[in-house]
Amino acid sequence: MSNITPASASLVSRLIDSTPTTRVSSRPHQPSLAFRTRTLFREITKIRTIIAKLDNDISRFNEKATLANNTAASARERIRYLTQ
């Protein structure tokens, strides 16, 4: 013989209907490996671009420093010639 009355069956039914059906995970969402790979590739590309720009800036600075050094050397030579 069953102990469930129609009233308690109705209560259980309403309780089940009000319970969320989606599973709640305690772990955060993990992106897929493909997504993480693409994201990492994008970040590596950005870093390579920054490195290329810095390399270009360094080369340009070296050219300017060499030009300034040559100009200073020429100026010293002129001063030495004029003061003889």
Residue 1's pLDDT band, with cuts at 50, 70 and 90, is very low
Q: Is the pLDDT of residue 16 over 70?
A: no
d(CA 56, CA 71): 23
Residue 25's pLDDT band, with cuts at 50, 70 and 90, is low
Query: What are the backbone angles phi and psi of residue 38, rounded to the nearest 5°?
Result: -60, -40
CA dihedral 11, 14, 18, 22 (to 10 degrees): 100
Better-scored residue on pLDDT, 1 or 12: 12
Please state the pTM of the whole predicted model: 0.53
What percent of the chain stands above pLDDT 90? Answer: 57
Q: Calculate the average pLDDT of the chain.
A: 84
Domain coordinates of the chain in residue numbers?
Answer: 52-84
